[in-house]
Chains A and B, each alone.
Chain A
Amino acid sequence: MTESLHGQDTAMATLSLNALRKTYPNGFTALHGIDLSIDDGELIVVVGPSGCGKSTLLRMLAGLESISDGELAIDGRRVNDLEPAERDIAMVFQNYALYPHMSVADNMGYALKNRGVPKAERRRKVEETARLIGLEDLLERRPRQLSGGQRQRVAMGRAIVREPKVFLFDEPLSNLDAKLRVQMRIEIRRLQKRLGVTAVYVTHDQVEAMTLADRLVVMNGGHIEQVGTPMHLYECPASRFVAGFIGSPAMNFLDARQTHGTLTLPCDTRIAAPSARDAIDTPVCLGIRPEHLLPVDEPDDTTLTTRVELVEPLGADTLAHVRLEGQDEPLVARLDGVHAVAEGDTLYLRPDADRLHLFDHETGRRLDDKDIHSCPSSPSSHLA
């Protein structure tokens, strides 16, 4: 099912990251020991807020940043001290980094030229790749004569033509407009599967991350928060951070107190806790996704009474920004279809008792871990 571009067999490529650390000379530690193993042909998306260390991690994989401690292996071979060119990787940069004075063909062929590939073969490979990504007619152009989307394609082509073991993407779509971004996202996914190349993709855009990834790596503050399939992270976020980061609009969080199987919300609403822990009046953090707040006609003691502050009709659904009655907690509810709510209305919302998330009040870790295995997509145990 995987297909080699130029007819040869693509080499298997697995990546293993073993306690990778990055400490800068000024003492700042950007990464505190990253463990991860990546399968052949897998598309891993690393996602996190800016400054979480995701770009540093990618640049360490590329060999553009030195590795302070730990081991990086490609196909079982330690590559810590190899130059980028010796690691057999290709990278697509955020601003594309095309050589402005070279034609598209020369840009794509530069790595091959440096490797001493004969001119005729170089030409053949470049043309083949250009056909694959629809650049045949642009080969003699200079980068500045291309549109943003075309430049992005050239950057992709430059990576593909070398048949690397690993593709590295550093926020490659962030300079494109929204429509083009969706289109290129699909194309990257298609190409990566077709070529069967292992890929690591860094982005801060969680929608991009969800739609592209085989597995997602969520990073925060130089640590990995969670690794798993997009759906697993959505359904069973391991921490409050992941829960808040994945999903749009973001998950609602409410302070609650748990006594055995019952959660008491600030407005005295009582709902059944997802896990009947042995707890007496313990503070917890309750997470409810906007789509799991269901509107009901009559209030009872399992509903939240809210006042509507703002309505965003999106067509397929409607976002209601509300505040808990008598409280200051802002909440967002996603209501199906076009909903006849208006600013100032009172809205009764019932949390879907089966889709609640409980987090430790102090550490933010998920509390109902015994339930993790009942999540629809169980975590793949790739954590090395």
Chain B
Amino acid sequence: MATFQRHRLTPWLLLAPQLVIVAVFFFWPAAQAVLQAFYVEDPFGLGRTFVAFENFARVLASAEYYRALGITVAFSIGVALGAMALALLLAVLADRVIKGAHGYKTLLIWPYAVAPAVAGVLWMFMLDPELGLISAWLGALGIDWNHQLNGGQAMALVVMASIWKQMSYNFVFFLAGLQAIPRSLLEAAAIDNAGPWRRFWTITFPLLSPTSFFLLVMNSVYAFFEIFGTIDATTAGGPGGATRTLVYKVYEDGFIGYDLGSSAAQSVLLMLLVGLLTLLQFRYLERKVQY
């Protein structure tokens, strides 16, 4: 790469804004979180005691934490599978019809712009036990829908709203991936007497695997973090903690329960988890996470 060589100060001037922001709002808090995780703060916030790994031990020994972990994983799987399967189906259809693929993209892309919290509210209205259209349909099918009381239904609500929002993102990528597959490959397969179904599973699907892996990670990251907006606006972690994810628990313990040490320890564990996820992605794709 060609570079400017004789400028000593200029690069530092250019980097300064980014470095300052990153230092103040990233490294300092991250370090604080790590530090805090080893202390217990007294209830009045007056002093704190070093407790080594006690916070971690407490977190890792609590059934609540594993429950939140399980819920987070369930959300990840539900959102990723649902949104990806739906998006892949629609992308294959849109890619097939050729004429109008672009139009469908325009018409399907906009839910991505909707905030997770807003998506949650829209679905909550459709599933409102009193007014909701879908809950009424479900009632007609004999399903008594009330996500304010039923934990499984509360999770379903959050997952549906998230799939609705994430589908468009996945659709854009799958469509781009499908359109990037060389026609000649499919033609060669057709000459080799592979039918459309077999062509899809033996050629198209394997060639989409980098896209699929990337989307799997992106959807998991969504389910880890951004889903917070949906949860807080609709179920607030309830009923009875049925939708309390890891991030929601960090928030609850820190800002509502004021258990700073535990919240910090959970943050650190979450950092490790996300770091692991990211590394995994770097390893397999050498590409990056864009959250």
Contacts and interface: CB of A to CB of B under 8 A. Distances in A.
Q: Do chains A and B touch in the complex (CB under 8 A)?
A: yes
Interface of A: 64, 66, 83
Can you list the 3 inter-chain pairs with the closest CB atoms, starting with the nearest?
Answer: A66-B5, A83-B6, A64-B2
Q: Is the interface of A mostly helix, strand, loop or mixed?
A: loop
A66 B2 CA distance: 12
Nearest to B2: A64
Nearest to A65: B5
B222 to A, nearest CB: 37
Nearest to A66: B5
B8 to A, nearest CB: 14
Contacts of B5: 66
A211 to B, nearest CB: 31
Contacts of A83: 6
Interface string B1-25: 0100110000000000000000000
A84 to B, nearest CB: 11
Q: Is the interface of B mostly helix, strand, loop or mixed?
A: loop
A59 B6 CA distance: 16
A39 B14 CA distance: 43
Interface of B: 2, 5-6
Contacts of A64: 2
Nearest to A83: B6
B42 to A, nearest CB: 55
Contacts of B6: 83
Nearest to B5: A66
Nearest to A81: B6
B2 to A, nearest CB: 7
3 contacts: A64-B2, A66-B5, A83-B6
Nearest to B6: A83
Contacts of B2: 64
A83 B5 CA distance: 10
A66 B6 CA distance: 10
A304 to B, nearest CB: 52
Nearest to B4: A83
A161 B109 CA distance: 50
A83 B4 CA distance: 10
A64 B5 CA distance: 9
A290 B112 CA distance: 71
A84 B94 CA distance: 54
B243 to A, nearest CB: 51
A83 B7 CA distance: 11
A66 B4 CA distance: 11
A118 B5 CA distance: 29
A64 B6 CA distance: 11
Nearest to A59: B2
A66 B5 CA distance: 9
B5 to A, nearest CB: 7
A126 to B, nearest CB: 26
A218 to B, nearest CB: 28
B238 to A, nearest CB: 56
A339 B4 CA distance: 59
A97 to B, nearest CB: 10
A66 B3 CA distance: 12
A64 B3 CA distance: 9
A83 B6 CA distance: 9
B13 to A, nearest CB: 19
A33 to B, nearest CB: 23
Contacts of A66: 5
A87 to B, nearest CB: 14
A65 B5 CA distance: 9
A81 to B, nearest CB: 9
B182 to A, nearest CB: 26
B85 to A, nearest CB: 42
A380 B33 CA distance: 76
A87 B5 CA distance: 16
A349 B5 CA distance: 59
A153 to B, nearest CB: 24
A125 B5 CA distance: 31
A258 B45 CA distance: 100
A215 to B, nearest CB: 30
A64 B1 CA distance: 11
A353 B6 CA distance: 58
